């Protein structure tokens, strides 16, 4: 993910050891790991919510299309049996 090599990790550990100190470094590393884990969970949950909303929107659009087709199917027998002209056909004047 971050593409950190061995030497970069070693330099980060040495700087952390100098700045934080050997006594507090393990707790700091644990807290940093917990924080990163919380961020990953948050991003994962946000992504899932966005995907659910997108699927819901697509389902609503599909429902509208199905209802439109259903309305057209209900009108079709009347047009065929009773000979009603289609609304979109032009009549000669």
13-52 per-position pLDDT tens digit: 899 889 988 899 889 889 989 999 999 999 999 999 999 9
The domains of the chain are located at 26-82
- The Cα 87–Cα 93 span in angstroms is 16
pLDDT of residue 53: 93
The pTM for the full model equals 0.52
Residue 2's pLDDT is 66
């Amino acid at each position: 993910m971050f593409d950190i090599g061995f030497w970069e990790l070693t330099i980060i550990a040495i700087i952390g050891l100098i700045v934080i100190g050997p006594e507090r470094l393990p707790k700091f590393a644990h807290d940093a790991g917990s924080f990163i884990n919380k961020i990953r969970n948050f991003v994962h949950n946000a992504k899932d919510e966005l995907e659910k909303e997108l699927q819901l929107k697509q389902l609503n659009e599909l429902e509208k299309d199905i209802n439109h087709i259903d309305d057209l199917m209900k009108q079709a027998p009347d047009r065929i049996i009773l000979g009603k002209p289609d609304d979109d056909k032009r009549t000669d004047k």
